[in-house]
C-alpha cells in the first residue's frame, strides 16, 4: 500500500524510500523505530506523516534529513543520498520548538544559515526581509525572540528554513505546542506559502484534522515499529479555506485516517 498506483518517474520524486528499517541501540536492547518503510513523495506534494506518539515519525523525517542513519534499505532525496542532499542544502528543517538564539535579533536568526554559507551581508539582509515578510513578520526584524509570541517565533523559524531557498521543507510538528486558534492561522498561512512557492513539504503531525486540511497526500503510520499502513491521495482542491472542513470529502478523508489508525492500534 506504500506504493502509488502508477509508480512516479524517478525525476519527479523528491523522496524515494525503499524497504527502510532503522534500529536504535539502547541500554534496554535494540529499539526498532521503523520497519520496512516504502514511500515515494513527488515534487510539489504536501505530505503529512500521521501516527501515534512514538511510532517513528520524527525518526523518518530525521533519516530524510541525514540526522539519523538507516540500518537497512535505501533512501534518496532529490535523486541523491541524504548526505549529498544535506551538503547541497536541498531542504530546510523546522523543529518542534522554534530553536532561535535569544541573543540574536529575529532578522539575524533568519540570516544565520546564510552567514554560515558565506553570503554577503546585503544579500542576507534582503533575504531575511523577504522571508520575514512572507511569514507576516515584517516590522519585527529587530526584535529578540523573547519579545515575540510562540506562534511568531515558529513563523520566524519557518522564515529561517526558507531563507536559503530549499525545494524541500521538512517540518516536525511545528505547531504542536500552539493553541488551536494560532495553529489554524499558521495552517492557512503555510498552505498559502506552499501554493505560491511550489515547494515539497513533508509535515509531521498527530492531529487528524491538521493532516487532512494541509495535505495533498496523507501517510498513515502504525504504532512502533513504524510501518506505513495507508497512503491517501486527497481529492480536496489545492485552493482551500477552513470551510472545506465541513465538506463530506473532508469528513470522509478524516474517517479513513481515523480508521487506519484504529485498525493499526488493534493489530499490536
Q: Which residues bind ligand ADP (CB under 6 A)?
A: 24, 26, 31, 33, 51, 53-59, 224
Binding partner of residue 227 among ligand ADP, Mg ion, none, CB cut-off 5 to 8 Å per kind: none
- Please report how close the Cβ of residue 162 comes to ligand ADP at its closest, in angstroms: 23
Comparison of 93 and 131: residue with beta carbon closer to Mg ion:
93
- Please report how close the Cβ of residue 172 comes to Mg ion at its closest, in angstroms: 6
Q: Does 215 bind Mg ion (CB under 5 A)?
A: no
Q: Does 205 bind Mg ion (CB under 5 A)?
A: no
Comparison of 56 and 166: residue with beta carbon closer to ligand ADP:
56
| Residue 77 phi, psi (nearest 5) | -120, 120
Rama region for 243: left / alpha / beta (φ>0; ψ in -120 to 50; rest): alpha
- Please report how close the Cβ of residue 268 comes to ligand ADP at its closest, in angstroms: 13
- Please report how close the Cβ of residue 227 comes to ligand ADP at its closest, in angstroms: 12
User: What mask of x and - would describe binding to Mg ion in positions 33 to 72, judged by CB under 5 A?
Assistant: -------------------------x--------------
Contacts for 52 with CB less than 8 Å, ≥ 6 apart: 206, 223, 261, 265
Comparison of 206 and 245: residue with beta carbon closer to Mg ion:
206
Q: Render 147-193 in DSSP notation, one character per residue.
A: GS-HHHHHHHHHHHHHTT--SEEEEESTTTTS-HHHHHHHHHHHHHH
How deeply is 100 buried, as exposed, middle or buried, from its count of CB atoms within 10 A (0-12, 13-18, 19+)?
Answer: buried
Residue 50 · residue 261 · CB < 8 Å: yes
Q: Does 234 bind Mg ion (CB under 5 A)?
A: no
Q: Tell me the C-alpha distance between 258 and 218, whole Å.
A: 12
- Please report how close the Cβ of residue 62 comes to Mg ion at its closest, in angstroms: 9
| Residue 195 phi, psi (nearest 5) | -65, -40
Chain contacts with Mg ion (rule: CB under 5 A) = 58
Amino acid at each position: 500500500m506504500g506504493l502509488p498506483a502508477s509508480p512516479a518517474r524517478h525525476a519527479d520524486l523528491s523522496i524515494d524510500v525503499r524497504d527502510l528499517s532503522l534500529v536504535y541501540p539502547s541500554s534496554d536492547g535494540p529499539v526498532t523505530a521503523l520497519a520496512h518503510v516504502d514511500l515515494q513523495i513527488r515534487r510539489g506534494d504536501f505530505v503529512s506523516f500521521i501516527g501515534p506518539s512514538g511510532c517513528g515519525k520524527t525518526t523518518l523525517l530525521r533519516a530524510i534529513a541525514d540526522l539519523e542513519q538507516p540500518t537497512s534499505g535505501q533512501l534518496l532525496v532529490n535523486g541523491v543520498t541524504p548526505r549529498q542532499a544535506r551538503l547541497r542544502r536541498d531542504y530546510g528543517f523546522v523543529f518542534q520548538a522554534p530553536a532561535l538564539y535569544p541573543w540574536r535579533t529575529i532578522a539575524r536568526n533568519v540570516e544565520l544559515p546564510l552567514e554560515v554559507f558565506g553570503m554577503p551581508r546585503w544579500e542576507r539582509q534582503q533575504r531575511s526581509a523577504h522571508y520575514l515578510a512572507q511569514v507576516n513578520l515584517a516590522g519585527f526584524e529587530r526584535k529578540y525572540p523573547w519579545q515575540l509570541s510562540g506562534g511568531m517565533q515558529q513563523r520566524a523559524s519557518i522564515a529561517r528554513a526558507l531563507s536559503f531557498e530549499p525545494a524541500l521543507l521538512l517540518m516536525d510538528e511545528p505547531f504542536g505546542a500552539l493553541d488551536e486558534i494560532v495553529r489554524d492561522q499558521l495552517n492557512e498561512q503555510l498552505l498559502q506559502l506552499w501554493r505560491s512557492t511550489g515547494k515539497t513539504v513533508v509535515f509531521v503531525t498527530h492531529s487528524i484534522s491538521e493532516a487532512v486540511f494541509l495535505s495533498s497526500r496523507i501517510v498513515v503510520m502504525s504504532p512502533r515499529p513504524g510501518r506505513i499502513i495507508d497512503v491517501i491521495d486527497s481529492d480536496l482542491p489545492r485552493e482551500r479555506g477552513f470551510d472545506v472542513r465541513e465538506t463530506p470529502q473532508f469528513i470522509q478523508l478524516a474517517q479513513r485516517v481515523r480508521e487506519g489508525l484504529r485498525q493499526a492500534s488493534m493489530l499490536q
